[in-house]
Amino acid sequence: MSNNSSAELHGIIAEYHTVEEILAAAETVREAGYTRWDCHTPMPVHGLDRAMGVRETRLPWVVLIAGLTGGGLGVLMQWWMNAIDYNYRISGKPDWSLPANIPVAFETTVLFAAFAAFFAMWIANGLPRWFNPLSRNARFARATDDRFFVAIQASDPMFDQDATAAMLSSSGAHAVETVEEPDETSRPPAVFRGAVWSLVSLAMLPLFLVAMARYNTSDKPRVHLVPDMDFAKRIKAQAVSDLFADGRGTRPPVAGTFALEDMEAVGADPAYYTGKLGDSFVTDFPLEVTPELMQRGQERFGIYCAVCHGDDGRGKGMVAQRAAVLSPATWVAPTDLHTQPVVDLASGQLFDSISNGVRNMPGYSSQISYQDRWAIVLYTRALQRSQAASAQDIPEGVNLR
C-alpha cells in the first residue's frame, strides 16, 4: 500500500474478550453489510466462519478452468506438432491418436492447474506484501495471545470512520481503535533486497556463460559433468598407440591366419561363399539338403523376407501392404517370387541377391550367415515348387489339415 502519507487510515479494530462476544460482533458486522473485514483470534473459533458469512473459496473453480485449459492446449499442441506441422511416420502408426498424447496432456493439465492455484491464491490475498499494518498496532498484538479482534478496512464501501466506530462500540467491544497506514516504507529491508538482486544477478551468470560459449570457439575439451564411459581406455582405428612396439593402434592380422568372415575374400570354396564359379552363378545346391536345413530356411525366410515378400512369397508382406496405403512416390513393390524369371534364376543368383541386394532391395550379408542364406534359397525353391505342385509331391503320411 501507499507509504507516503502519515495519516492515511487503514481501518478500525475492535477488541473483545470472549468467544461469545466475537461471535456476536461478527454477526453484527455481517448484518450491517460490510465486506472488507476480518476476525483475528488467538485460536480457531468454531462457528466463526458462519457468523461472518464467509463463503466457500472460488479457488477450486479457477484451478478447474486452468486445468482444463492446460489439458486442451496440451492436446492441441501435440495435434498441431505431430499431425500438421511435422508428421511422424513410425511403424505405420497413425499421425494422430489420442492415447499417445495423454501423458503430455496430463502434464500440461497439472502445470496450468498448479500455477493457477499458486498465483490466484497470491492475487486473491493481495500478496506479496511485506507486512500487514495491523501488526504495527500494539493492542492488536494480543490477537495471538488472549484477545479477539474485528478489523474493518477503510477500503470497505460501507466504511465511515464515525459510524463504523459507533457500530463496533455498540456491538460490545471493550476497545475501538483506528489503525493508520504505517509511516514506514512497506518495502523489504535493504539487506533483503540486496540479497535478492545478488541472487538474480548470479542466476544470470549461467545464461551469460552459455551465450558466450555459443559465440566463441575454444581448444579446451568441453566440461563433462557425467563422464559415463565416454573416456574409456581404448585404441581408435589408425591411431598411434604406445602399447605396441611399432606404435600402431591398428594391428595387422596374425601371420598365417585369417578371420572366418574372410573366407569369401580369400577365395575359399567360391560356390558356397559367393554363389559363383568364375563369372557364372552356380545352379547346383552346394549343401546337403536336410529337413533341418529346410526348416531353418523357412524360419529365416519368415524373419527376414516375409515382411516384404509375404509368407507365400507373392510380394504382399506387411511392409508392402502398408506402402500400398501410403503409396510414397519412391516405393518399389517387392517382387513376386513365383514369377517365371525368378523361378528361372540360378540358385547362385538367388544367393547373390540375398547377400548383396538387387536394385532396390538391400543386401543381407551382414545379418544372415552364409549357411542361413543357402537355407533361405532352399526354402524359396520349396515355396516356388509348392505353387505348381501336384498330388505326387506331397510325401507319404503328411497331415494336410
Residues that bind ligand HEC (CB under 6 A): 304-305, 307-309, 319, 332, 334-335, 337, 342, 350, 353-354, 358-361, 364, 376, 380
Beta carbon of residue 250, minimum distance to ligand HEC (angstroms, whole number): 33
Beta carbon of residue 251, minimum distance to ligand HEC (angstroms, whole number): 34
What single-letter amino acid sits at 91? S
Q: What's phi and psi for 183, nearest 5 deg?
A: -70, -25
Beta carbon of residue 288, minimum distance to ligand HEC (angstroms, whole number): 20
Closer to ligand HEC at the Cβ: 108 or 380?
Answer: 380
Q: Cα dihedral angle (278, 283, 289, 294), rounded to 10 degrees?
A: 110
Beta carbon of residue 291, minimum distance to ligand HEC (angstroms, whole number): 20
Euclidean distance between CA atoms 40 and 22, whole angstroms: 9
Euclidean distance between CA atoms 324 and 316, whole angstroms: 10
Closer to ligand HEC at the Cβ: 37 or 281?
Answer: 281
Beta carbon of residue 283, minimum distance to ligand HEC (angstroms, whole number): 15
Closer to ligand HEC at the Cβ: 196 or 332?
Answer: 332
Residues 6+ apart with CB under 8 A from 93: 100
Closer to ligand HEC at the Cβ: 75 or 376?
Answer: 376
Closer to ligand HEC at the Cβ: 150 or 375?
Answer: 375
Euclidean distance between CA atoms 124 and 60, whole angstroms: 13
Closer to ligand HEC at the Cβ: 149 or 379?
Answer: 379
Half-sphere exposure of residue 81: CA atoms within 13 angstroms, side-chain side: 8
Half-sphere exposure of residue 85: CA atoms within 13 angstroms, side-chain side: 6
Residues 347 and 377 sit within 8 Å (Cβ to Cβ) = yes
Half-sphere exposure of residue 219: CA atoms within 13 angstroms, side-chain side: 0
Beta carbon of residue 278, minimum distance to ligand HEC (angstroms, whole number): 20
Other CB atoms closer than 10 Å to residue 149's CB: what's the count? 24
